[in-house]
Structure 1
């Protein structure tokens, strides 16, 4: 009888001890959980005040859904830039897609505009995505899609681009040196072409950078249309994240690395140190005579194209000043949210 009583007491002591241990473990867990929760809430409040994303997951989701469109203008160093984009895509985990419009057309029909806008915005398997092609600007807002892409572009001094394209059609480039171009065998220099008044060096052929930024409206492609020039400027201001210039391509890449590291992390050093910074160079090119330049610069189209180029250059320099050549005030700039209600 005494033995049974002792056994019962021993069992009760064990149960009590185990219960105490369990309660202590539970209390410690709750304290740790409270600390984690408290720290998370505090961090979340700080993130909201400073404008950061609430969590790493939501931060990644926002940028993993990103779409960039580079509607590249021919002969502006676009091949060199796109080569860099392809080099980075695997490491930075994004997709690159070339927009190839049949018959080398720069505009889409209205049904294709709608299909294109809807297609790339819902093609989640290819996001984040970088699209590039020789296609005019397309305003996604008018199609009612939920997501609008970020546009970027590069412009070049119009006469330099025009002369480069003239010789490119005759001699090709070092990118595909064995490809025969459509003017192959024509050894006439640009100066001789201007003197002879031939159509393929007509200054009206410079009308390209304006319509590329202007868009799909038929008026954009009317040579010398003043509305098209103003529309190109408006689009540059309103719809383009960044428009750089060929003459400052390195700085363009440096700014993109700062602004969009999700795509361009490591781009600056890669561009400086690889052998693709001048991926496509025209095989033979002769600079025009001063009198030829003077004749070209008297044309209406050159004046309008040059106006757009200088407009873009001014904007680009303003961005560069505050990022690359930033003042201490700009470098240390922060923003936060305050007086958030309800609490």
Structure 2
């Protein structure tokens, strides 16, 4: 029999430990679901992966590699990516899921909750690929785990020009700017900004020239995105995806593909129009440069890691 004083002492220590552990988990995104998607016996391993992911490592370790979201930015090669993914899904056996099945927009919290329930109500032993033109959603704020995210971006001016002519206008971009129809001002709302797809659904994320939106977009890329590739370096993007997410992208660089939705001809854009675009796209350009530098580091890091693995295999073969 334990001494009553000792029993009380042990009980108080157990309660204190439980309270500390609850606070510890809550401060890290809560990895505990409010709606039944709990971490269970794998919670410690997932928490450790979460810690690794949020270090400054170049090669990001996905926390939940079986749930992958591609919130495709328009005019960044997403049609080409989906054709590749359809081929890869047949090869690797993961499911393809269009988030448009839950609605066209997900601005309201109720819509986001519906999307979360639809997304995570799937077998955890399978791999699932989700796609849609959708802004980033922080699923942990809704009480769910955070899936792995990927995307591809493009130089903002090239993307803007491509998007303009994709709509098949009756006048050139230079004519549109000269008439004033295409002119935009900082502080205005624009739902087509590239960085908004990473910043999220808050109103400030869609304000042209908003520095807070830029900083949030950068933070989200660092904390939630396994890979953000570059349309201008599509083959390299597939190489990094193949290295980091082999369950989805293994052998992707071996697939022959063509770029889809490419306009055959676009009129040249004048220096005056380009200068105007540069002026109001300052934050867009800064975000692109941030992603470009990050991707360059990832590419070098993945190649170095691949070479190390090949060298290690060669040494084992020589030893055998």
Deviation track 1:291-311 (CA, whole Å, cap 9, x = no partner) reads 221222122xx1000000000
Deviation track 1:182-235 (CA, whole Å, cap 9, x = no partner) reads x4xx1x111111111113x64765851111100122221223221111000000
Quote the offset at 1:148 in angstroms: 2.1
2:130: which partner in 1? 131
Contact 1:64 1:128 in 2 (8 A): no
- For the pair 1:304 / 2:289, whether they are aligned, the reply is no
Distance 2:247 2:209 in 1: 39
Quote the offset at 1:81 in angstroms: 1.0
User: Structure 1 pair 63/230, CA: closer, same or farther in 2 (3 Å)?
Assistant: closer
Distance 1:142 1:150 in 2: 15
Contact 1:155 1:244 in 2 (8 A): yes
User: Structure 1 pair 330/215, CA: closer, same or farther in 2 (3 Å)?
Assistant: farther
User: Structure 1 pair 229/330, CA: closer, same or farther in 2 (3 Å)?
Assistant: farther
Contact 2:102 2:118 in 1 (8 A): no
Contact 2:64 2:146 in 1 (8 A): no
Distance 1:90 1:327 in 2: 25
Normalized per residue, the structure richer in helix is 1
- For the pair 1:193 / 2:176, whether they are aligned, the reply is yes
Quote the offset at 1:104 in angstroms: 4.9
List alignment gaps of at least 5 residues for structure 2.
1-61, 313-320
List alignment gaps of at least 5 residues for structure 1.
1-61, 171-182, 334-343
Quote the offset at 1:325 in angstroms: 5.4
Deviation track 1:119-138 (CA, whole Å, cap 9, x = no partner) reads 21122289411111100001
TM (norm. structure 1) is 0.66
User: Structure 1 pair 314/214, CA: closer, same or farther in 2 (3 Å)?
Assistant: same
- For the pair 1:215 / 2:200, whether they are aligned, the reply is yes
Distance 1:311 1:97 in 2: 30
Distance 1:292 1:230 in 2: 27
Secondary structure, counterpart of 2:195 in structure 1? helix
Contact 2:99 2:115 in 1 (8 A): no
2:249: which partner in 1? 264
Q: After the TM superposition, which segments of 4 or more aligned residues of structure 1 sit over 3 Å from their partners?
A: 62-65, 101-105, 201-207, 325-333
Distance 2:218 2:65 in 1: 28
2:162: which partner in 1? 164
2:114: which partner in 1? 115
2:273: which partner in 1? 292
Distance 1:103 1:67 in 2: 20
Q: Which has the larger radius of gyration?
A: 1
Aligned residues: CA RMSD: 2.8
Alignment of 1:62-73 (within 5 A): 66-73=66-73
TM (norm. structure 2) is 0.71
Q: How many residues align?
A: 249
